[in-house]
């Protein structure tokens, strides 16, 4: 996990946080993601599940699909993925399928987290590829994104 300096890692996670803000302004749960190849962001995505009516439109899936098109290759070997919230099983599976090198996530997901919390699909040795995992980069900011969003929803519901 020594490919990027701590400063660079934070800049990539800040880009993912920027994506999450885009989701929030659309009323979507604020989760954002970027895929980085050799220091360059080649895929960006934010959660669009409600507005697109597409259950697969998680931030990670959107960012991976964009990176695939950028490289014209379904393989994202040597790429790193930065996401504000721990991946669910679907996204963890996509990350393994795309053969990403490493994943950095901001905060853990107690309900569906499948990169260390409920299970770890990224390091599962029975699959044909394993991914390095780092958690806690910009954690407080990633937690705040979600807590602010849900606090606003509660506030709105109480007013209604």
Residues marked as catalytic: 60
Using CB under 8 A, which of 72, 157, 158, 159 touches its own copies?
Answer: 72
Tell me if 108 contacts its own copies by CB under 8 A. Answer: no
Out of 9, 13, 35, 64, point to the residue binding its own copies (CB under 8 A).
64
Please report whether residue 93 would count as binding its own copies according to CB under 8 A.
yes
Q: Which of 6, 128, 159, 160 binds its own copies (CB under 8 A)?
A: 128
Q: How far apart are the C-alpha atoms of 132 and 100, rounded to whole Å?
A: 9
> How many other C-beta atoms are found inside a 10 Å radius of the C-beta of residue 143?
15
Closest by Cα among 110, 130, 134 to 121: 130
- H-type helices in 2-138, by residue range? 6-25, 49-52, 59-71, 89-97
Longest CA–CA span in the chain (Å) reads: 51
Q: Residues 6 or more apart from 135 whose CB is under 8 A from it?
A: 86, 104, 105, 106, 107, 108, 115, 116
The annotation status of 58 as a binding-site residue, yes or no, is: yes
x-or-dash string of contact with its own copies, 36-55, rule CB under 8 A: -------------xx-xxxx
User: How far apart are CB 57 and its own copies at their closest, in Å?
Assistant: 8
Confirm or deny that 88 is annotated as ligand binding.
yes
Task: Answer yes or no whether residue 29 interacts with its own copies by CB under 8 A.
Answer: no
Using the rule CB under 8 A, give the single segment among 27-35, 101-109, 124-132, 149-157 that binds its own copies: 124-132
From the annotation, which residues make up the binding site for Zn(2+)? 58, 88, 91
């Amino acid at each position: 996990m020594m490919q990027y300096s701590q400063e660079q890692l934070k800049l990539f996670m800040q880009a993912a946080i920027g994506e999450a803000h885009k989701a929030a302004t659309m009323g979507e749960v604020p989760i954002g993601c970027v895929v980085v190849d050799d220091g360059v962001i080649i895929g960006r995505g934010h959660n669009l599940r409600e507005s697109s009516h597409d259950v697969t439109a998680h931030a990670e899936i959107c960012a991976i699909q964009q990176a695939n098109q950028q490289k014209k290759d379904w393989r994202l070997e040597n790429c790193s993925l930065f996401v504000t919230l721990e991946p669910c099983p679907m996204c963890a599976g996509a990350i393994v399928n795309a053969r990403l090198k490493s994943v950095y996530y901001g905060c853990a997901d107690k309900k569906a987290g499948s990169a260390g919390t409920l299970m770890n699909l990224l390091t599962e040795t029975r699959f044909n590829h394993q991914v390095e995992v780092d958690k806690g980069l910009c954690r407080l900011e990633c937690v705040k994104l979600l807590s602010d969003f849900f606090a606003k929803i509660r506030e709105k519901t109480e007013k209604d």
